[in-house]
C-alpha cells in the first residue's frame, strides 16, 4: 500500500544537532528525504574542513541511513535508495575567511547552503541582532556572485533586514529563509515581517518555518498548535508553493 | 592522416612549474594527454588548499587547454576533448598534517598522487637525503591505507630506500617512482638502484625516468642522449610496460 508519506519528497530546511547514528536513524523514522545539516557556525576554514572530514566519516559509517547530496538529482537518488540525503550547510560565512576561492572547494565537498551572517556582523554583511545593518559589503557582493556561480544557496534566516534585501536583489538565483518565524505573531529580532516574507517569495525565494519556541506567539509555553499557526500565517502571506519547514532549535 | 602521435595516450609522471597559460599551451604542443602536476611541496593544509583554489581558477580560465582529472576515465575524456588532463599531485605529505580525514577531502578536490616524503623525514616516513631511514611510521601505515582506500597514488621518487620498500609492501595498490634516474649510471641519493627498480615493478608499480641533468651520467654536460640512455637502462631492468617519463626539474 502506498501512503501519501511514501510519495513525498520531504526536505528539512535546516537542522543543527550533535550528529550521531541515533540522529540519522531518527531522520529516517521521520521520513526525511533530505536535510540541510549545519557543519559550520563560527568555525574558520580549517576547523570547518575538519568538520567536513568528520561528515565523510559519518557517510561511510552510516551508509545505510544517509548519503551526500551534491545536486538536486542526488535528492531523487536518496528518495529512491530509502536514505536521507545530506546537504552540508554553514550558518555563517566564517569558513570562507577572506578567500573567494574557498567557495568552490566547499561546493565540491558537498556544501550546498550557506547563511550570509549569523546574528552579528562579518566580512560579508550583518546579522539580525546587530544594532546597525548597512547591507552587503563589497566583498559580500563578490561572495554572492561566487555562490551563484558554483550553485550554493544563500540562506538569510539569521541575517539582518538590509543585508537580506541586498542579497535578494544581488543574487541571480533564488535565496531562502530556511528557518524563520513570522514577526506578525511575535516581535523578535530573529522573526521576519510580512513584507520581508513577501519580498523574498516575490523574488523566487523559499521560506522555511522553524518551531523554536522563543520565536512563537506563546514563547516557552508554545505547543505544536503555535507552530501550525506560524506555518499557516506564512502560507497566508507567501502562498504554499514556496513555504516549508526548518526545524532548527537555535 | 593519423600519425602515431595522434593515437598515443601520453602521461607525464610529474611536472613542477610556475604554472601559467603559456605552460598549459606548451603541454598541448607537446602532445600531453595528462600530467601529474605538483600543487604542494612544503605547504601545510591551508596553504595547499589555497593552491588548489588557484588551480580551480586555472581550469576555468584555460578550459580550452586543460581539464581536471578525477579518474582514469577522465584521461580518456581529455584525449577525446583535445585537452591536457591535470592530475593534481603533492610532492610531500605535509598538507595532510596529522589528519587522516584530510586525505579524502583532497581526493575529492582532484588530488590523485602524493609523494610520501620529500628528501627529509616527515610524519609518515623518510626522504632520500636523510642520514637514516627507518621506514614507514605507524601513522604512515595509516596514511598508505587511507590513500589506497580513496584511490590516491603513492609516489616514492624522493623517498628513502627503507620507506619506499615499506610502502611498496604495505600498499594494496600499485605505487610509483614517478620521476627518477638509475643509480647504475650515476651514484646519487635521488637515483634508484637496479634492485629498487626491479622491486617496485615486480609489485606492479610504475617507473618514470626524469631528465634532470644532475641525476644523469654526465651531470650538467648531459644531452638528450644521456636521457635516452637512462630510459634505455631502466627499460632493460624493468621492461618497457611499466616505464615512462617524468620531466620534473628538481
Average pLDDT, chain A: 95
Which residue of A44, A96, A101 to mutate against B (max B Cβ within 10 Å)? A101
Chain A positions in Cβ-Cβ contact with residue B102 (cut-off 8 Å): 49, 53
pLDDT at A11: 93
Per-residue pLDDT tens for A182-197? 999 999 999 999 999 9
pLDDT at B244: 75
Per-residue pLDDT tens for A157-211? 999 999 999 999 999 999 999 999 999 999 999 999 999 999 999 999 999 999 9
Contact across the interface for B105 and A57, Cβ inside 8 Å: no
Per-residue pLDDT tens for B159-172? 999 999 999 999 99
pLDDT at A220: 94
The answer to whether A98 contacts chain B (CB < 8 Å) is no
Q: Which of residues 56-75 of A touch B (CB under 8 A)?
A: 56-57
Mean pLDDT for A22-51 is 97
In this prediction, residue B249 has a pLDDT band, given cuts at 50, 70 and 90, of low
The answer to whether A54 contacts chain B (CB < 8 Å) is yes
Mean pLDDT for A93-121 is 98
The shortest C-alpha distance from B53 to chain A (Å) reads: 5
The answer to whether A142 contacts chain B (CB < 8 Å) is no
The shortest C-alpha distance from A175 to chain B (Å) reads: 25
Q: Which DSSP string corresponds to B30-57? A: TT-SEEEEEEESS--HHHHHHHHHHHHH
ipTM score here?
0.90
Residue B151 and residue B172 in contact, taking contact as beta carbons nearer than 8 Å: no
Chain A positions in Cβ-Cβ contact with residue B99 (cut-off 8 Å): 50, 53
Residue B53 pLDDT greater than 70, yes or no: yes
Residue A248 pLDDT greater than 80, yes or no: no
In this prediction, residue A247 has a pLDDT band, given cuts at 50, 70 and 90, of low
Residue B129 pLDDT greater than 60, yes or no: yes
Contact across the interface for B56 and A105, Cβ inside 8 Å: yes
- Give pTM, 2 decimals: 0.93
Residue A36 pLDDT greater than 60, yes or no: yes
Give the pairing type, strands B206-209 and B111-115: unpaired
% of chain B surpassing 90 pLDDT: 92
Per-residue pLDDT tens for B68-93? 999 999 999 999 999 999 999 999 99
Residue B34 and residue B75 in contact, taking contact as beta carbons nearer than 8 Å: yes
pLDDT at A4: 54
Contact across the interface for B53 and A108, Cβ inside 8 Å: no
Contact across the interface for B101 and A57, Cβ inside 8 Å: yes
The answer to whether A101 contacts chain B (CB < 8 Å) is yes
The answer to whether B53 contacts chain A (CB < 8 Å) is yes
Q: Enumerate residues 6+ apart whose C-beta is below 8 A from B137.
A: B123, B124, B125
Q: Enumerate residues 6+ apart whose C-beta is below 8 A from A76.
A: A9
> 3-state DSSP call for residue B115?
strand
Residue B246 pLDDT greater than 90, yes or no: no
For residues A76 and A74, give the distance between their C-alpha atoms in angstroms, rounded to a whole number: 5
Chain B positions in Cβ-Cβ contact with residue A56 (cut-off 8 Å): 101, 104-105
For residues B58 and B85, give the distance between their C-alpha atoms in angstroms, rounded to a whole number: 12
Instruction: Please list, residue by residue across A166-200, b when 16 or more beta carbons sit within 10 angstroms of its beta carbon and e when fewer do.
Output: bbbebbeeebbbbbbbbbbbbebebbbeeebbebb
Chain B positions in Cβ-Cβ contact with residue A101 (cut-off 8 Å): 50, 53-54, 56-57
Which residue of B49, B103, B106 to mutate against A (max A Cβ within 10 Å)? B49
Residue B206 and residue B177 in contact, taking contact as beta carbons nearer than 8 Å: yes
The shortest C-alpha distance from A57 to chain B (Å) reads: 8
For residues B30 and A46, give the distance between their C-alpha atoms in angstroms, rounded to a whole number: 38
Q: Which residue of B has its CA nearest to A51?
A: B101
Q: What are phi and psi of B90, to 5 degrees?
A: -110, 145
For residues A42 and A39, give the distance between their C-alpha atoms in angstroms, rounded to a whole number: 10
pLDDT at B2: 45
Chain B positions in Cβ-Cβ contact with residue A57 (cut-off 8 Å): 101
Q: Which residue of B has its CA nearest to A53?
A: B101
For residues A20 and B4, give the distance between their C-alpha atoms in angstroms, rounded to a whole number: 56
Amino acid at each position: 500500500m502506498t501512503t501519501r508519506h511514501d510519495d513525498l519528497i520531504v526536505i528539512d530546511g535546516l537542522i543543527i544537532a550533535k550528529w550521531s547514528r541515533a540522529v540519522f536513524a531518527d531522520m529516517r523514522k521521520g521520513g526525511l528525504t533530505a536535510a540541510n545539516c549545519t557543519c559550520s557556525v563560527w568555525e574558520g576554514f580549517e576547523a570547518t574542513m575538519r568538520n567536513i572530514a568528520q561528515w565523510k566519516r559519518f557517510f561511510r559509517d552510516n551508509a545505510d541511513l544517509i548519503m551526500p547530496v551534491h545536486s538536486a538529482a542526488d535528492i531523487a537518488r536518496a528518495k529512491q535508495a530509502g536514505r536521507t540525503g545530506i546537504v552540508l550547510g554553514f550558518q555563517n560565512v566564517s569558513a570562507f575567511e577572506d578567500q573567494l576561492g574557498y567557495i568552490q572547494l566547499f561546493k565540491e565537498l558537498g556544501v550546498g547552503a550557506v547563511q550570509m551572517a549569523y546574528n552579528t556582523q562579518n566580512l560579508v554583511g550583518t546579522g539580525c541582532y546587530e544594532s546597525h545593518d548597512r547591507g552587503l559589503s563589497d566583498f559580500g557582493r563578490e561572495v554572492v556572485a561566487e555562490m551563484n556561480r558554483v550553485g550554493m544557496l544563500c540562506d538569510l534566516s539569521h541575517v539582518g533586514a538590509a543585508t537580506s534585501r541586498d542579497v535578494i536583489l544581488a543574487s541571480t538565483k533564488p535565496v531562502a529563509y530556511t528557518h524563520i518565524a513570522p514577526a506578525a505573531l511575535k516581535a523578535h529580532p530573529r522573526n521576519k515581517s510580512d513584507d520581508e516574507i513577501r519580498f523574498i517569495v516575490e523574488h523566487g525565494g523559499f521560506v522555511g518555518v522553524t518551531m523554536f519556541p522563543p520565536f512563537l506567539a506563546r514563547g516557552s509555553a508554545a505547543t505544536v498548535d503555535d507552530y501550525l499557526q506560524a506555518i499557516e500565517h506564512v502560507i497566508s502571506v507567501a502562498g504554499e508553493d514556496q513555504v516549508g519547514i526548518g526545524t532548527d532549535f537555535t
